[in-house]
Structure 1
Amino acid sequence: MVYLRGLRQPCWYAVLGDHLLDLPELDARAIFSKATSLLVQMQARAGLEPYWIRVLESVGGIHANLIFPASDKVAKQFLNSKVGPYLGEVGKGLQQIRNTDADWRNVTAYLTGERVSQGNQHYTRILGPRVRGSHQLGEGGGDRVQLSTALRERVVDAGIVTPWARTTSRNLTRRIVQPPAIMAPPKAKPTVYRVQPDLFPLAPHDTFTSADEVRQLREHLGLTQWQLAQRLAIRNRSHVANAERGHDGLSRPRVRYLRYIAETERMVA
């Protein structure tokens, strides 16, 4: 963090979450790797150093946070890439970190919340409070904080950190159900993700929709339960059926997206 801020280049914070929380851990980790691979390619084309920090978290399901330097153009390219549906719009799932003490302090405090408990009293004064409990990184484990090869070499050479032995993730159980392929970003307004920290002021979260509203919106759109499941990136029709019966609720991002496409259909009509 200290080194990236010292570059005096625009830096961005991104969350890879939401729909990833519904995927097997093996597939979620594959998308984490795909995201940084795409990012490095975009940075190279823009003449930027291939720097990124990836911080994994386990609360609410394994997900990844990315910090990286990039121009506005690169950030928008990343948002519109194949991993875009797992991010969100600029200002929500993808935010620029302003070069202020407050922004860097907030993002550092958030990303260190699941740190180990050793020396917690000392680090709390520096980093802020730690999230209570044990935070195992799913079945795979491995390093919680990961740096790109170029950034790791640079901070070690600069003496900012001492060399460390990397801990790789364990082999994961192979998936039984084939997950959906990474989709192109939807044309509709992207969703706000529940794992996003409030670094900057955000609009209040929507409340969950009722079972009747789910059914009414689906019928208004002229969709079957299976077709609605595909539009919302839900793996099977039964989730929609349960939501219409009131047994299971839809997540806030999916509710917001469903209302948005319904309103768009009304405006077109």
Structure 2
Amino acid sequence: SGAAVAAVAIGIVVPHFAPAGSSPFEGRYRAVGGSPSGIVETAFTDPLRILEQAFGGRGIPYLLELLLPLLALPLLAPLAALTALPELAVNLLSSTRTQTSIHFHYTAAAIPGLLVGAVLGTAKLKRHNGRLRTVVTAVVVAGIAANYVLGAIPIWRAFPGGESLGSRQHEVTAHDDVAERALRLIPDDAVVSATNSLGGHLSERRRVLSFPVFGGASWIAADETQPGYADRVAPLATSDRLRRLRLDPGWRIVFDEDGIVVFRRR
């Protein structure tokens, strides 16, 4: 089953291949026990800590941002909505802020269950009062309003209160052209360590590492304007690591323009 595959991946595969011998993601859950077994233990010994982590801070706003665009209709079909629970739990218990944001990929596995729940919830309302048109109209209005406030359609940035996050990511800028020139310097078969915004353009190769992991890398590509550090944005850590690389005699700079830096191992 899917649960068994997930358990094997989390408990055996990831720790086996992790350089430190334990999952690199456990740090995200340190507040509630770290490892899967630690989280289960915390759930029994200190359940309030689990609730605090899940519903304090960004937890409740995150759930509202998922449910309100659907008029909370998934709650009327709890069995369907429950399929989203594992993903929501993984996100709510994490200390990584991007996991409780609807603007990143972390919500992907929860969305199907919520949408199916919304459809079944609408059907349940129709059976009770027969006003399907009213419900559908309300859902459409809520969806448009939510997209205006939370969505990434570029036009919304021109209006008061409209979402602007990511609204320019479709535009190819002069900085993007610089990055493209820099990445062309790296051989197709080279092992490269890259910050997140550049890594996607290098992912067709057999091995690409996430900066600052350098094991086996002969090239490093970093974008100082989008300081991706492992799986997070960390300007200070990225800046410090790049400063040390500039001083490291084992590496030489082959490209340095507009915040794009490419190193090659000597």
Instruction: Give the TM bin, normalised by the shorter chain.
Output: under 0.3
Instruction: Please tell me whether Structure 1 or Structure 2 has the larger radius of gyration of its CA atoms.
Output: 2
TM-score of the superposed pair, with normalisation by structure 2 = 0.27
